[in-house]
A and B are shown apart, each in its own frame.
Chain A
Amino acid sequence: MKRNLPLFFAFFCGLLVIVSEFIPHRPFSLMIDTLQEWFMIISGFAIILGQISLFQSNINKIKQKDSGWMFYLAGLISFILMLIVGMFWGTQETGGLFGHGTALQARLGMKPFDYLFEFAYMPLSSTMFSLLAFFIASAAYRAFIIRSFESNLLMLTAVIVILGRTSFGSMLTGWLPQGLRFWHLPNLSDFIMEYPNSAAQRAIMISAALGIIGSSLRIILGIERSYLGSDK
């Protein structure tokens, strides 16, 4: 029962979704709507499970005084703080358990949740991602020194696309005569994006779709059952 019943559920739900696509009438249409609503609610609980797991893992590291435990404590405190302000006074659009927190809003100039978002979350997130600009530069250098035809093709395309999307690129080849307008960097960049890039993207999409169809069938038919975990 512990394994076979969940496998049957997976088969039934998968089959129901597929059948309802081909018979879009009652009761299948109603069943699929209900199933999708349930899916959303259960996914919500799955995300909560992930957050609990993160919380537990941080608590364990702090309890065991792992190296850098005070940083995990800072993470835990920021998690609790953001959660509390969000639950108590809500977000920009919605009120929380204690309403909209008008007095606090007057002090902070905005809701506490939005204050933390604007002055802590947003700077951290955009700086973290902007940091990647430096690592990308180092990755580009490594790709250059490989010196294979493929890596050169990759870098050449990247350079054309970058220059073609900036005013500098436009200025570089702006002097070209009308007959050679194709080689004007913005035009060349558009051509690459529209044709060779689309071709490769289509190949990836078609191939990935074939893979997804195969693995979905394996799940529905119960051949792939690793998601159930072990019996231990």
Chain B
Amino acid sequence: MSSFMSVFGLWMAVFFTFSIFSFLYKDNPFYKFGEQVFVGLSAAYWLVYLFYSIMLPNLFTKLFTDLKGNLILLIPATLGLMMLLRIIPKTQWLSRFPIAIMIGTSAGINMLRYTKSDMLSQISATMINPFNAATTSAMIGNILLIFGTICGVYYFYFSKKQEGISAVPSKLGIWFLMISFGASFGYTVMARVSLLIGRLEFLLKDWLHIIK
């Protein structure tokens, strides 16, 4: 039975793979079917994952095993239920309270996190002596690093119109950004192509046994 189900599963995987690839020809019912099944499965997958990894250990297990000791957890549970009231138009306003708590908390957390990790640490990492390098290419690289960071930040300064001489650093900033986008683009291409190779390998190896 187990081997039958394995073969059935394999054919199901092949069917879904071809359904999605059929979009390369044009939009068709097979693709639409695969797309909606994917939406349904991924929504349920994340819901189940959320239940077992967050809701069960942090709320339900604690409440069911020791209610008296965890009475305080009834507050987030109530707030959570208030959040669900958003689907009823008359009680929609009640969801503002949990949303406000979430937004306020995440604003505080983000403000601190980004100040420390993304702003201060990046600025301090850029404050280096460019000439203190082992090789000439590393020295040129360090100069480019400092220069590129300053020009890039200047490009994002929108409070004053950048024209004339003040537009030059901004233009150089765009060049650095384009290099970075190109590198990201290259990596994305490689990641997607490797996924494509994975699917072709599945079809030719696991399904058709053409390659070993």
- Interface residue ranges, A against B (CB under 8 Å): 2-3, 5-7, 9-18, 21, 34-49, 51-54, 56, 68, 71-72, 74-83, 86-87, 90-91, 93-94, 106-109, 113, 115-134, 136-137, 140, 150-151, 153-162, 165-166, 182, 191-210, 212-213, 215-217, 219-220, 227-229
- Decide: B195 and A126 in contact? CB cutoff 8 A: yes
Given contacts A44-B55, A203-B152, A207-B153, contact A39 B102 (CB under 8 A): yes
* A191 CB, nearest partner CB in chain B, Å: 6
A150-B174, A196-B176 in contact; A41/B77 too (CB < 8 A)?
yes
Asked whether, in the complex, the Cβ of B41 is within 8 Å of the Cβ of A116, the reply is: yes
Which 10 A-B residue pairs are closest in the complex by CB-CB distance? A203-B152, A199-B148, A17-B108, A157-B182, A45-B80, A10-B104, A86-B48, A200-B180, A161-B186, A75-B36
CA distance A93 to B52 in the complex (A): 10
Task: Give Cα A81–Cα B43 distance, bound, in whole angstroms.
Answer: 11
Partner among A79, A136, A199 whose Cβ is within 8 Å of the Cβ of B176: A199
**A203 B179 Cβ-Cβ under 8 A:** no
* A45 partner, pick from B83, B106, B187, beta carbons under 8 A: B83
List 28 A–B pairs whose Cβ atoms lie within 8 Å, in order of A's numbering: A6-B99, A13-B108, A47-B50, A51-B47, A71-B32, A79-B44, A82-B44, A82-B45, A87-B48, A107-B1, A126-B198, A127-B17, A128-B38, A131-B20, A132-B192, A136-B192, A158-B183, A161-B187, A192-B183, A195-B145, A197-B180, A199-B176, A200-B177, A212-B111, A212-B118, A213-B119, A217-B107, A219-B103
In the bound complex, residues from chain A placing their C-beta under 8 Å from that of B6 are: 109
Q: CB distance A127 to B33 under 8 Å?
A: no
B99 contact from A86, A118, A195, A227, Cβ within 8 A: A227
Chain A nearest CB, measured from B8 CB (Å) = 8
Beta-carbon nearest neighbor of A6 in chain B: B100
Chain B count of residues within 8 A CB distance of the other chain: 121
Residue of B24, B36, B45, B112 near A117 (CB, 8 A) is B45
Closest CB of chain A to B157's CB: distance in Å? 8
Q: Is B106 a contact partner of A39 (Cβ separation < 8 A)?
A: yes
Q: Which residues of B contact A (CB under 8 A)?
A: 1-2, 5-6, 9-10, 12-14, 16-17, 20-21, 23-24, 29, 32-52, 54-56, 58-59, 72-73, 75-77, 79-81, 83-84, 86-87, 92-93, 96-112, 114-115, 118-119, 122-123, 125-126, 137, 140-142, 144-153, 155-156, 173-183, 185-190, 192-193, 195-196, 198-199, 202
Q: How far is B178's CA from A12's CA once the two chains are assembled, in angstroms?
A: 42
Q: Identify which of B48, B156, B196 contacts A91 (C-beta below 8 A).
A: B48
Say whether A46 contacts B47, CB under 8 Å: no
With A130-B196, A229-B96 as known contacts, state yes or no: A212 contacts B114, CB within 8 Å: yes
